[in-house]
Protein backbone atom coordinates (compact mmCIF):
# COMPACT_ATOMS: atom_id res chain seq x y z
CA UNK A 1 0.00 0.00 0.00
CA UNK A 2 2.84 2.39 0.73
CA UNK A 3 3.74 2.52 -2.96
CA UNK A 4 0.64 4.54 -3.81
CA UNK A 5 0.22 6.54 -0.63
CA UNK A 6 1.75 9.74 -2.10
CA UNK A 7 -1.12 9.83 -4.63
CA UNK A 8 -3.83 8.44 -2.34
CA UNK A 9 -4.30 11.64 -0.35
CA UNK A 10 -4.79 13.66 -3.54
CA UNK A 11 -7.45 11.30 -4.89
CA UNK A 12 -9.43 11.04 -1.65
CA UNK A 13 -9.23 14.80 -1.01
CA UNK A 14 -10.77 15.53 -4.43
CA UNK A 15 -13.49 12.96 -3.72
CA UNK A 16 -14.09 14.49 -0.29
CA UNK A 17 -14.60 17.94 -1.82
CA UNK A 18 -17.16 16.56 -4.27
CA UNK A 19 -19.08 14.69 -1.55
CA UNK A 20 -19.01 17.72 0.73
CA UNK A 21 -20.40 20.07 -1.90
CA UNK A 22 -23.39 17.81 -2.46
CA UNK A 23 -23.93 17.47 1.30
CA UNK A 24 -23.92 21.23 1.85
CA UNK A 25 -26.41 21.63 -0.99
CA UNK A 26 -28.76 19.19 0.72
CA UNK A 27 -28.25 20.83 4.10
CA UNK A 28 -29.02 24.21 2.57
CA UNK A 29 -32.34 22.87 1.30
CA UNK A 30 -33.28 21.47 4.70
CA UNK A 31 -32.02 24.45 6.72
CA UNK A 32 -33.89 27.00 4.61
CA UNK A 33 -37.17 25.10 4.70
CA UNK A 34 -37.62 22.12 7.00
CA UNK A 35 -35.09 22.07 9.83
CA UNK A 36 -33.25 24.44 12.13
CA UNK A 37 -29.50 24.87 11.81
CA UNK A 38 -28.92 22.40 14.65
CA UNK A 39 -31.42 19.95 13.14
CA UNK A 40 -29.75 20.06 9.73
CA UNK A 41 -26.40 19.49 11.45
CA UNK A 42 -27.75 16.57 13.49
CA UNK A 43 -29.14 14.95 10.35
CA UNK A 44 -25.61 14.70 9.02
CA UNK A 45 -24.37 12.63 11.96
CA UNK A 46 -27.56 10.69 12.71
CA UNK A 47 -27.99 9.34 9.19
CA UNK A 48 -24.31 8.72 8.50
CA UNK A 49 -23.50 6.76 11.69
CA UNK A 50 -25.15 3.46 10.62
CA UNK A 51 -23.49 3.56 7.19
CA UNK A 52 -20.07 4.22 8.71
CA UNK A 53 -20.34 1.36 11.22
CA UNK A 54 -21.47 -1.03 8.48
CA UNK A 55 -18.59 0.11 6.26
CA UNK A 56 -16.03 -0.54 9.00
CA UNK A 57 -17.51 -3.95 9.77
CA UNK A 58 -17.46 -4.96 6.09
CA UNK A 59 -13.87 -3.75 5.71
CA UNK A 60 -12.74 -5.72 8.75
CA UNK A 61 -14.44 -8.84 7.41
CA UNK A 62 -13.03 -8.42 3.90
CA UNK A 63 -9.45 -7.86 5.08
CA UNK A 64 -9.49 -10.28 7.98
CA UNK A 65 -8.25 -7.62 10.39
CA UNK A 66 -9.29 -7.10 14.00
CA UNK A 67 -10.17 -3.77 15.60
CA UNK A 68 -6.86 -2.02 16.33
CA UNK A 69 -5.74 -0.70 19.68
CA UNK A 70 -5.90 3.03 20.23
CA UNK A 71 -3.65 5.28 22.28
CA UNK A 72 -5.16 7.25 25.21
CA UNK A 73 -4.76 10.57 23.41
CA UNK A 74 -7.22 9.41 20.75
CA UNK A 75 -10.24 10.23 22.91
CA UNK A 76 -9.20 13.81 23.61
CA UNK A 77 -8.37 14.45 19.95
CA UNK A 78 -11.61 12.83 18.81
CA UNK A 79 -13.81 14.76 21.23
CA UNK A 80 -12.12 18.07 20.45
CA UNK A 81 -12.38 17.53 16.71
CA UNK A 82 -15.97 16.31 16.88
CA UNK A 83 -17.18 19.21 19.04
CA UNK A 84 -15.39 21.77 16.85
CA UNK A 85 -16.90 20.24 13.71
CA UNK A 86 -20.42 20.39 15.16
CA UNK A 87 -20.07 24.08 15.98
CA UNK A 88 -18.46 24.78 12.60
CA UNK A 89 -21.25 23.02 10.70
CA UNK A 90 -23.91 25.00 12.57
CA UNK A 91 -22.08 28.20 11.62
CA UNK A 92 -22.05 27.17 7.95
CA UNK A 93 -25.75 26.30 7.91
CA UNK A 94 -26.57 29.65 9.54
CA UNK A 95 -24.31 31.35 7.01
CA UNK A 96 -26.40 29.94 4.15
CA UNK A 97 -29.31 31.99 5.51
CA UNK A 98 -27.19 35.16 5.25
CA UNK A 99 -25.45 34.91 1.88
CA UNK A 100 -25.70 32.70 -1.18
CA UNK A 101 -24.27 29.20 -1.51
CA UNK A 102 -20.97 29.87 -3.28
CA UNK A 103 -20.04 32.83 -1.07
CA UNK A 104 -21.02 30.85 2.03
CA UNK A 105 -18.68 28.03 1.06
CA UNK A 106 -15.92 30.55 0.27
CA UNK A 107 -16.16 32.05 3.75
CA UNK A 108 -16.04 28.55 5.20
CA UNK A 109 -12.94 27.72 3.18
CA UNK A 110 -10.89 30.32 5.05
CA UNK A 111 -10.14 27.24 7.16
CA UNK A 112 -7.13 26.52 4.91
CA UNK A 113 -5.50 29.78 5.94
CA UNK A 114 -6.45 29.31 9.57
CA UNK A 115 -5.17 25.72 9.57
CA UNK A 116 -1.71 27.01 8.64
CA UNK A 117 -1.90 29.57 11.46
CA UNK A 118 -3.14 26.85 13.84
CA UNK A 119 -0.11 24.75 12.95
CA UNK A 120 2.17 27.69 13.71
CA UNK A 121 0.57 28.35 17.10
CA UNK A 122 -0.03 24.80 18.28
CA UNK A 123 2.75 22.81 16.62
CA UNK A 124 5.37 25.54 16.22
CA UNK A 125 5.63 24.93 12.47
CA UNK A 126 7.17 27.97 10.82
CA UNK A 127 5.62 29.81 7.89
CA UNK A 128 7.86 31.37 5.25
CA UNK A 129 7.71 34.97 4.10
CA UNK A 130 5.86 33.85 0.97
CA UNK A 131 3.49 31.93 3.19
CA UNK A 132 2.62 35.08 5.11
CA UNK A 133 2.18 36.88 1.77
CA UNK A 134 -0.33 34.23 0.70
CA UNK A 135 -2.22 34.68 3.97
CA UNK A 136 -2.30 38.45 3.47
CA UNK A 137 -3.68 37.98 -0.03
CA UNK A 138 -6.39 35.81 1.46
CA UNK A 139 -7.34 38.64 3.83
CA UNK A 140 -7.87 40.89 0.79
CA UNK A 141 -10.21 38.27 -0.64
CA UNK A 142 -12.11 38.22 2.65
CA UNK A 143 -12.49 42.00 2.59
CA UNK A 144 -14.02 41.75 -0.88
CA UNK A 145 -16.39 38.98 0.15
CA UNK A 146 -17.45 40.46 3.47
CA UNK A 147 -18.89 43.65 2.00
CA UNK A 148 -22.61 44.02 1.40
CA UNK A 149 -24.28 44.02 -2.00
CA UNK A 150 -23.71 47.76 -2.41
CA UNK A 151 -20.13 47.79 -1.12
CA UNK A 152 -17.58 49.51 -3.32
CA UNK A 153 -14.42 49.73 -1.20
CA UNK A 154 -12.64 48.24 1.79
CA UNK A 155 -13.58 48.81 5.40
CA UNK A 156 -12.76 46.98 8.59
CA UNK A 157 -16.42 47.41 9.45
CA UNK A 158 -17.18 44.85 6.74
CA UNK A 159 -15.93 42.18 9.13
CA UNK A 160 -18.54 43.17 11.71
CA UNK A 161 -21.51 41.80 9.75
CA UNK A 162 -23.08 38.48 10.69
CA UNK A 163 -22.09 36.66 7.50
CA UNK A 164 -18.40 37.49 7.89
CA UNK A 165 -18.42 36.50 11.54
CA UNK A 166 -20.08 33.16 10.88
CA UNK A 167 -17.78 32.38 7.98
CA UNK A 168 -14.57 33.18 9.80
CA UNK A 169 -15.77 31.33 12.91
CA UNK A 170 -16.59 28.24 10.86
CA UNK A 171 -13.15 28.33 9.26
CA UNK A 172 -11.47 28.60 12.66
CA UNK A 173 -13.48 25.70 14.07
CA UNK A 174 -12.89 23.53 11.01
CA UNK A 175 -9.15 24.20 11.30
CA UNK A 176 -9.26 22.92 14.88
CA UNK A 177 -11.17 19.81 13.83
CA UNK A 178 -8.73 19.09 10.99
CA UNK A 179 -5.69 19.20 13.27
CA UNK A 180 -7.49 17.19 15.97
CA UNK A 181 -8.64 14.55 13.50
CA UNK A 182 -5.13 14.07 12.19
CA UNK A 183 -3.97 13.56 15.77
CA UNK A 184 -6.75 11.05 16.38
CA UNK A 185 -6.03 8.98 13.27
CA UNK A 186 -2.34 8.82 14.19
CA UNK A 187 -3.33 7.49 17.63
CA UNK A 188 -4.94 4.40 16.08
CA UNK A 189 -2.43 1.55 16.25
CA UNK A 190 -2.69 0.19 12.71
CA UNK A 191 -0.58 0.39 9.57
CA UNK A 192 -3.59 0.41 7.26
CA UNK A 193 -4.65 4.06 6.71
CA UNK A 194 -8.08 2.99 5.47
CA UNK A 195 -8.74 1.14 8.72
CA UNK A 196 -7.36 3.95 10.86
CA UNK A 197 -9.62 6.43 9.09
CA UNK A 198 -12.70 4.20 9.39
CA UNK A 199 -12.24 3.49 13.10
CA UNK A 200 -11.60 7.15 13.90
CA UNK A 201 -14.58 8.31 11.87
CA UNK A 202 -16.91 5.73 13.43
CA UNK A 203 -16.00 6.72 16.99
CA UNK A 204 -16.15 10.46 16.28
CA UNK A 205 -19.55 10.30 14.59
CA UNK A 206 -20.98 8.32 17.52
CA UNK A 207 -19.66 11.03 19.86
CA UNK A 208 -21.18 13.74 17.71
CA UNK A 209 -24.55 12.00 17.49
CA UNK A 210 -24.72 11.69 21.28
CA UNK A 211 -23.76 15.35 21.77
CA UNK A 212 -26.44 16.51 19.33
CA UNK A 213 -29.12 14.25 20.86
CA UNK A 214 -28.51 15.83 24.27
CA UNK A 215 -28.43 19.35 22.81
CA UNK A 216 -31.64 19.00 20.82
CA UNK A 217 -33.47 17.31 23.68
CA UNK A 218 -32.60 20.21 25.98
CA UNK A 219 -32.72 23.18 23.62
CA UNK A 220 -34.94 22.26 20.68
CA UNK A 221 -37.61 19.74 21.73
CA UNK A 222 -39.37 18.25 18.73
CA UNK A 223 -36.51 18.91 16.31
CA UNK A 224 -35.40 15.27 16.30
CA UNK A 225 -38.90 14.28 15.20
CA UNK A 226 -38.62 16.78 12.33
CA UNK A 227 -35.23 15.29 11.39
CA UNK A 228 -36.89 11.87 11.16
CA UNK A 229 -39.77 13.29 9.13
CA UNK A 230 -37.22 14.75 6.68
CA UNK A 231 -35.49 11.39 6.25
CA UNK A 232 -36.11 11.13 2.50
CA UNK A 233 -33.70 14.00 1.96
CA UNK A 234 -31.68 13.67 5.17
CA UNK A 235 -30.63 10.09 4.46
CA UNK A 236 -28.75 11.39 1.42
CA UNK A 237 -27.02 13.88 3.70
CA UNK A 238 -25.92 10.89 5.74
CA UNK A 239 -24.58 9.03 2.72
CA UNK A 240 -22.69 11.98 1.27
CA UNK A 241 -21.43 12.87 4.74
CA UNK A 242 -20.07 9.36 5.18
CA UNK A 243 -18.33 9.46 1.81
CA UNK A 244 -16.86 12.91 2.34
CA UNK A 245 -15.81 12.41 5.95
CA UNK A 246 -14.21 9.06 5.25
CA UNK A 247 -12.20 10.54 2.40
CA UNK A 248 -11.07 13.48 4.57
CA UNK A 249 -10.01 11.10 7.34
CA UNK A 250 -8.04 8.90 4.95
CA UNK A 251 -6.24 11.99 3.66
CA UNK A 252 -5.45 13.13 7.22
CA UNK A 253 -3.84 9.77 8.00
CA UNK A 254 -1.26 10.12 5.24
CA UNK A 255 -0.73 13.87 4.82
CA UNK A 256 -0.39 17.10 6.79
CA UNK A 257 -3.78 18.71 7.45
CA UNK A 258 -2.73 22.03 5.89
CA UNK A 259 -1.92 20.39 2.55
CA UNK A 260 -5.17 18.43 2.61
CA UNK A 261 -7.25 21.51 3.30
CA UNK A 262 -5.38 23.51 0.67
CA UNK A 263 -6.15 20.97 -2.04
CA UNK A 264 -9.73 20.80 -0.78
CA UNK A 265 -10.25 24.33 -2.05
CA UNK A 266 -11.33 22.75 -5.34
CA UNK A 267 -14.68 22.75 -3.55
CA UNK A 268 -14.89 26.46 -4.39
CA UNK A 269 -15.24 25.65 -8.08
CA UNK A 270 -17.88 23.04 -7.34
CA UNK A 271 -19.81 25.39 -5.06
CA UNK A 272 -19.93 28.11 -7.72
CA UNK A 273 -21.34 25.58 -10.15
CA UNK A 274 -23.93 24.49 -7.58
CA UNK A 275 -24.86 28.07 -6.78
CA UNK A 276 -25.53 29.04 -10.39
CA UNK A 277 -26.92 25.76 -11.78
CA UNK A 278 -29.05 24.46 -8.92
CA UNK A 279 -29.97 27.44 -6.74
CA UNK A 280 -30.11 30.01 -9.59
CA UNK A 281 -28.26 32.50 -7.41
CA UNK A 282 -26.49 35.54 -8.80
CA UNK A 283 -22.92 36.27 -7.76
CA UNK A 284 -21.90 39.93 -7.84
CA UNK A 285 -18.74 41.21 -9.52
CA UNK A 286 -17.28 42.04 -6.10
CA UNK A 287 -17.97 38.52 -4.88
CA UNK A 288 -16.41 37.02 -8.01
CA UNK A 289 -13.34 39.18 -7.38
CA UNK A 290 -13.20 38.04 -3.76
CA UNK A 291 -13.48 34.40 -4.73
CA UNK A 292 -10.75 34.84 -7.36
CA UNK A 293 -8.36 36.57 -4.96
CA UNK A 294 -8.96 33.96 -2.26
CA UNK A 295 -8.36 31.14 -4.73
CA UNK A 296 -5.16 32.90 -5.78
CA UNK A 297 -3.99 33.02 -2.17
CA UNK A 298 -4.77 29.33 -1.77
CA UNK A 299 -2.80 28.39 -4.89
CA UNK A 300 0.10 30.50 -3.70
CA UNK A 301 -0.10 28.85 -0.28
CA UNK A 302 0.07 25.40 -1.86
CA UNK A 303 3.12 26.38 -3.91
CA UNK A 304 5.09 27.78 -0.98
CA UNK A 305 4.05 25.31 1.74
**What are the 10-residue block averages of pLDDT along the chain, 305 residues in total?**
60 85 69 71 86 92 92 92 89 70 65 76 66 74 61 54 77 89 90 92 94 93 89 81 88 81 72 67 74 78 67
Q: For the chain, what are the domain ranges?
A: 2-304
Q: What is the pLDDT of residue 36?
A: 80
Q: pTM above 0.85? A: no
Q: Coil, helix or strand for 94?
A: helix
Q: What is the pLDDT of residue 272?
A: 66
Helix (H) or strand (E) holding 188: strand 188-189
Q: What is the pLDDT of residue 94?
A: 79
Closest CA to 78 of 175, 185, 210: 185
Q: What is the pLDDT of residue 3?
A: 45
Contact criterion met (CB below 8 Å) for 116 and 305:
yes
Q: What is the pLDDT of residue 297?
A: 76
Listed in sequence order, the DSSP H helices in the chain are 5-31, 37-63, 73-96, 101-108, 111-118, 129-146, 162-186, 193-219, 223-229, 231-254, 257-263, 267-277, 285-304
In sequence order, the 6+-apart residues with CB closer than 8 A to the CB of 46 are 209, 212, 227, 234, 238
Q: What is the pLDDT of residue 1?
A: 43
Compute the distance between CA of residue 257 and CA of residue 255 in angstroms, rounded to an integer: 6
Amino acid sequence: MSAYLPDLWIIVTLLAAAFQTVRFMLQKVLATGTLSAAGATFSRFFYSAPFILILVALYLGATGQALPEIAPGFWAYGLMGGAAQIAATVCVVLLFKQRNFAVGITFKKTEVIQTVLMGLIVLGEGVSTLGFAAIALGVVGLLLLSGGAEATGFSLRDFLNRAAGLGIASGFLFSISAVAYRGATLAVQADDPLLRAGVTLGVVVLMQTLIMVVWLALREPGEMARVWAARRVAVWIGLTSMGGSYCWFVAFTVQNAAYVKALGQVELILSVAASTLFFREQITAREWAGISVLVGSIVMLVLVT
